[in-house]
Structure 1
Amino acid sequence: MVSNQSSPPQAALRRRTDDADVVGMWVTADGHIRQELRADGRYDEARGKRRSAYTGRYTVTGNHLDYVDDTGFTATGDIRDGVLFHEHLVLYKEDQA
């Protein structure tokens, strides 16, 4: 049986030492928007009660993120002082304790 789902290339799973560690849950101050950045280079963004409102893939270069939504929409983000500035959003990393 052949699977239509391919695993990401190993290079996509490797993180350069100078790239920001972005994996985890990022949340707006009011908790309305929750963006999960996964280790496999995928993201899943919830808005309010709408789960998986946006999904796609992302890449990290230094402190800069490039997003490509599954619909083809693109966006960018930057990590500054531990805060993710994603287009007009400001997100904070949720504690993973």
Structure 2
Amino acid sequence: MAEHPYVGIWVTKDGRIRHELLPNNRYDEARGERESAYQGRYRLTDNYIEYWDDTGFTADGEFIDDVLYHGGMVLYRQEPSLISPR
């Protein structure tokens, strides 16, 4: 499976909401201190993303200029840490 350009972690400016888009078309969303608050699958069509949460909730969003607009939120790409794990 080819990796698309949006794979990675997307966060709100305050860091409270974090979406990790995985290369296997699954996502993991953290909210505040609650890791893996929501999980499910997603599908990309160009810059449009559709989400299907494992509980049945659906949502969508759009990537514009490397910013994700989703459900009234604005999420920015989180750059990988420059510190290597030990």
Q: TM-score, normalised on structure 2?
A: 0.88
Q: 1:32 aligns with which of 5, 8, 16?
A: 16
1:52 maps to amino acid: S
Structure 1 residue 47 corresponds to structure 2 residue 37:
no
Instruction: Give CA-to-partner distance per residue, 1:27-77, whole Å, 9 cap, x none.
Output: 000000111000000000000001111100001000000000001110001
Q: 1:67 aligns with which of 26, 39, 51?
A: 51
Q: TM-score, normalised on structure 1?
A: 0.78
Q: Distance in 2 between matches of 1:82 and 1:31?
A: 17
Q: Distance in 2 between matches of 1:90 and 1:43?
A: 17
**What is the percentage of aligned positions where both structures have the same residue?**
53
Paired residues, number: 81
Report deviation, 1:14.
3.9
* Higher helix fraction (1 or 2): 1
Gaps of 5+ in 1: 1-12
* Higher strand fraction (1 or 2): 2
Q: Which of the two has higher C-alpha Rg?
A: 1
Q: 1:76 aligns with which of 42, 50, 60?
A: 60
Instruction: Give CA-to-partner distance per residue, 1:10-39, whole Å, 9 cap, x none.
Output: xxx346xxxx61100000000001110000
Which residue is equivalent to 1:22?
6
Q: Which runs of 4+ in 1 moved over 4 A?
A: none
Gaps of 5+ in 2: none
